[in-house]
Amino acid sequence: MVYDKENFKNITIKDVAKRAEVSIATVSRILNGKDRVSPLLAERVLLAVKELQYQPNDVARALKIKESRSIGLIIPDIENPFFPALVRGVQDAAKIHNYAVILCNTDGKTEEEKKYIQFLYSKRVDGIAFTESVDNKKNIALLDSLGIPVVLLDRRVEGMKASGVSTDNRLGAFMATQHLIEKGKQRIGFISGSPKLSSGADRASGYQDALLHYSIQYDKKLVFIGAFTYESGYAAVENLLLSRHQFDAIFAANDIMAIGAIECLNRYGIRVPEDVAVVGFDDIRLATWYKPLLTTIRQPVYEMGQYAIKLLVEHITGERSCPYEKIFAPELMIRQSSGGLEESK
Amino acid sequence: MVYDKENFKNITIKDVAKRAEVSIATVSRILNGKDRVSPLLAERVLLAVKELQYQPNDVARALKIKESRSIGLIIPDIENPFFPALVRGVQDAAKIHNYAVILCNTDGKTEEEKKYIQFLYSKRVDGIAFTESVDNKKNIALLDSLGIPVVLLDRRVEGMKASGVSTDNRLGAFMATQHLIEKGKQRIGFISGSPKLSSGADRASGYQDALLHYSIQYDKKLVFIGAFTYESGYAAVENLLLSRHQFDAIFAANDIMAIGAIECLNRYGIRVPEDVAVVGFDDIRLATWYKPLLTTIRQPVYEMGQYAIKLLVEHITGERSCPYEKIFAPELMIRQSSGGLEESK
DNA sequence: GTGAAAGCGCTAACAC
DNA sequence: GTGTTAGCGCTTTCAC
Q: What is the pLDDT of residues B223-235, one digit of tens each?
A: 999 999 999 999 9
| Distance (Å, whole) CA B152 – CA B144 | 13
Which residues are in reach of strand C, CB within 7 A? Answer: A 21-26, 29, 35-38, 40-41, 60, 63-64, 66; B 10, 12-14, 24-25, 28, 31-32, 34, 56-57, 60-61, 63-65
Asked whether the predicted pLDDT for residue A86 surpasses 70, the reply is: yes
Count of beta carbons in the 10 Å neighbourhood of residue A291: 15
Compute the average pLDDT of residues A22-32: 96
pLDDT at residue A345, rounded to an integer: 44
Q: How far is the CA of B292 from the C1' of C8 (A)?
A: 61
Read off the pLDDT of each residue in A4-20 and give the average, rounded to a whole number: 83
A-proximal residues of B, 5-24, CB under 8 Å: 5, 7-8, 10
Name the phi and psi angles at B77, rounded to 5: -165, 115
CA distances from A328 to A149, A152, A171, B137 (A): 21, 14, 10, 44
Mean pLDDT on B191-220 = 95
Measure Cα distances from A264 to A215, A272, A294, B263 in Å. Answer: 29, 11, 15, 24
Query: What pLDDT shows up at residue A82?
Result: 96
| Residues on chain B touching A119 (C-beta within 8 angstroms) | 100
What pTM did the predictor assign?
A: 0.95
The yes-or-no answer to whether B1-65 and B169-299+331-338 have a common fold is no
Are A105 and B92 within 8 A, CB to CB? yes
Cis ω before A330 (30° cut-off from 0): no
Q: How far apart are CA B309 and CA B304, in angstroms?
A: 9
DSSP for A171-216, please give it.
HHHHHHHHHHHHTT--SEEEEE--TTSHHHHHHHHHHHHHHHHTT-
pLDDT over 50 (residue B48) = yes
Nucleotide nearest to B16 (CA to C1'): C9
Q: Which of B266, B246, B253 is CA-nearest to residue B188?
A: B246
Protein-to-nucleotide distance from the CA of A34 to the C1' of C4, whole angstroms: 19
What's the mean pLDDT in A86-112? 97
Q: Cite the beta strand spans of chain B per DSSP E.
A: 70-75, 100-105, 127-130, 150-153, 163-167, 188-192, 223-225, 249-252, 277-279, 296-298, 325-328, 331-333
- Give CA–CA dist A200/A198, Å, rounded: 5
> Is pLDDT at A276 greater than 50 in this prediction?
yes
Between A278 and B1, residue with greater pLDDT: A278
> Does residue B287 have a pLDDT over 70?
yes
**Contact yes or no for A101 and B103 at CB 8 A:** yes
**Chain D bases near protein CB atoms (7 A cut-off):** 1-5, 7-13
- Per-residue pLDDT band at A222 (split at 50, 70, 90): very high
Cβ-in-10-Å burial (0-12, 13-18, 19+) of A206 comes to buried
Q: Are A99 and A124 in contact (CB under 8 A)?
A: no
Q: Which of A56, A78, A102 sits opposite B87 (nearest CB)?
A: A78
Indicate whether A97 pLDDT > 70: yes
* pLDDT beyond 90 at A129: yes
A1-65 has CATH 1.10.10.350 classification: no
Query: pLDDT digits over A181-193, tens only?
Result: 999 999 999 999 9
Are the Cβ atoms of A83 and B85 closer than 8 angstroms? no
- Tell me the pLDDT band of A75, cut-offs 50, 70 and 90: very high
Residue A250 or A344, more confident: A250
Across A223-246, average pLDDT? 95
The topology (CATH level 3) of A169-299+331-338 is: Rossmann fold (3.40.50)
A286-324 pLDDT, tens digit per residue, is 999 888 999 999 999 999 999 999 999 999 999 999 999
Is pLDDT of B222 > 60? yes
What's the CA dihedral at A94, A100, A105, A111 to 10 degrees?
Answer: -110
pLDDT tier at B342, thresholds 50, 70, 90: low
* Residues 33-72/A with CB < 7 A to strand D: 34, 56-57, 60-61, 63-65
In whole angstroms, what separates CA B39 from the centre of its chain?
Answer: 46
pLDDT tens string B323-334: 999 999 999 999
Q: Which residues 35-54 of A are in CB contact (within 8 Å) with B?
A: none
pLDDT at A3 over 90: no
* Cα–Cα dist B267/B270, whole Å: 7
Q: What is the pLDDT of residue A291?
A: 87
Alpha carbon B3 to chain centroid distance?
37
Q: Which helix (H) or strand (E) holds B254?
A: none
Question: By percentage, how much of chain B surpasses pLDDT 70?
Answer: 96
Secondary structure class of B105 (helix, strand, coil): strand
Chain B residue numbers with beta carbons less than 8 Å from the beta carbon of A8 are 146-147
CA distance, residue A212 to nearest chain B CA (Å): 35
Which residues on A lie below 8 Å from B149 (Cβ)? Answer: 3
Query: Which residues neighbour A266 within 8 Å (Cβ) at sequence distance 6 or greater?
Result: A272
pLDDT of residue A156: 84
Strand D proximity: list residues 4-23 of B with CB under 7 Å.
21-23
Nearest CA in chain B to A69: B123
| Chain centroid, CA A15 distance in Å | 43
Q: C16 C1' – B35 CA distance, angstroms?
A: 17
CB B61 within 8 A of CB B91: no
8-state DSSP, A99: -
Which A positions 79-118 lie with beta carbon below 8 A of chain B?
79, 81, 83-85, 87-88, 91-92, 100-105, 118
Scored b (16 or more CB within 10 A) or e, A25-48 reads ebbbbbbeeeeebeeebbebbeeb
- Mean pLDDT over A151-180 rounds to 92
Give the span between the Cα atoms of B282 and A212, in whole angstroms. 47
Percent of chain A with pLDDT over 70: 96
Q: Say if CB A120 and CB B70 are below 8 A apart.
A: no
Burial class (CB in 10 A: 0-12, 13-18, 19+), A312: buried
Whether the pLDDT of residue B343 is over 60: the answer is: no
Q: Is the CB of B118 under 7 A from strand D?
A: no
Rounded alpha-carbon distances, angstroms, from residue B119 to A4, A71, B205, B287: 21, 14, 36, 36
pLDDT band with cut points at 50, 70 and 90 for residue A340: confident
**Contact in structure between A216 and A177 (CB atoms under 8 Å):** no
Higher pLDDT, A291 or A77: A77
Within 179-218 of B, beta carbons closer than 8 Å to A belong to none
Query: Residue B190: pLDDT above 60?
Result: yes
Query: CB B102 to CB A101 under 8 A?
Result: yes
Residue B138 clears pLDDT 70, i.e. is over it: yes
Inform me whether the pLDDT recorded for B2 exceeds 60.
Answer: no
Q: What's the gap in Å between the CA of B263 and the closest CA on chain A?
A: 9
For chain B, which residues make up each domain, given as ranges? 1-65, 169-299+331-338
